Chain A
Amino acid sequence: MKTKLLAIAIASVFTLGAQADFLGADHNWNNGSSAVKSAKKAGKPVGITKGVLTIAGISRNADNGNMVDPAFAKTSRPCPPFCIQPTAPFAPAAVETVTELDVINVAQLISFGDADNMIIDARTKGWAKKGMIPHAVNVPFTKLNSKALAKDPMAVVELMVEKFGVKDLDGVLDYDGAKTLYLYCNGSWCGQSPAAIRALLTMGYPQSKIKYYRGGMNDWKLLGLTVK
């Protein structure tokens, strides 16, 4: 029990560091914990990383033989429109493309009460209802894309003020207190979160405060990660 508590303390310390380095594959500090041992009874443990089974209520399906949800097994959606997104679709804008580990790290920060970061599910409501990344907020891309901007730019401003911590100083947008947004949609072939990111950039949202989780729900499910 002592070992486990110590491990949790260490995990918390690492979390305070930047990004997901603490989840690197070389860390094996929690190797002998009781959590790992109990998981072994049901098969080999399925950690998020070595020795880390759960973070912020997120874990991986523990069945070593589990197969991906058939709803996310399709290989051949028509392109266009479902074309493979580039590594950095927004270049020269420096929007970082991130992985599951970065998203999980931020989910943990949010679960601790952090208000500087936000995970945004940019899919339409119907998709979001079927399951989102834990601690994500659904902001459908239809409210945050070039069409929404053309139709009603003030509605987009209101959304950013209300949800993202942007300030509207008599028509000048102040992004100093704006949250860092982690956006995702259905996967590397999905254009919804990229559309939302393009609209954010058009509005002057700082590049460094936008992250693109390109793998999206498809990669998330492929790894058997928790959805809510």
Chain B
Amino acid sequence: MAVVDILTGTFGVKDLDGVLDYNNAKTLYLFCNGSWCGQSPASIRALLTMGYPENKIKYYRGGMNAWKSLGLTTK
């Protein structure tokens, strides 16, 4: 249920009496530390298991490593 709470609380998924409605779910861009990092892939697998629409999940494979390698701003 904690996962469903994140989906509804943060990602715009609706919980219709136990049936998840992804019509207004946000498109998610996930990243972690870089191409060798399994953290965002693990999250993406969990999202797919929950039925999150494939076309609403993007994987930024380069992650923080590629981001920093281009000298881009971090906060």
Contacts and interface: CB of A to CB of B under 8 A. Distances in A.
A62 B68 CA distance: 23
A26 to B, nearest CB: 10
Given A99-B61, A215-B62, A223 B36 contact: yes
Contacts of A99: 35, 61
B70 A222 contact: no
B69 interface: yes
A84 B62 CA distance: 13
Contacts of A215: 35, 62, 66
A75 B72 CA distance: 8
Contacts of B34: 222
A104 to B, nearest CB: 13
Nearest to B41: A25
Q: Which of B35, B36, B70, B71 has the most C-beta atoms of chain A within 10 angstroms of its own C-beta?
A: B70
A76 B41 CA distance: 29
Interface string A82-104: 00100000000000000110000
Looking at chain A's contact residues, the main secondary structure is loop
Chain A interface size range: 10 to 19
A193 interface: no
B66 A75 contact: no
Interface in A191-227: 215, 218-219, 222-223
B38 interface: yes
A189 B70 contact: yes
B38 to A, nearest CB: 6
Q: Which of A100, A189, A222, A223 has the most C-beta atoms of chain B within 10 angstroms of its own C-beta?
A: A222
A68 to B, nearest CB: 8
Contacts of B36: 223
A188 interface: yes
Nearest to A82: B70
7 contacts: A75-B68, A76-B71, A99-B35, A187-B69, A188-B62, A189-B70, A215-B62
Interface of A: 25, 75-76, 84, 99-100, 187-189, 215, 218-219, 222-223
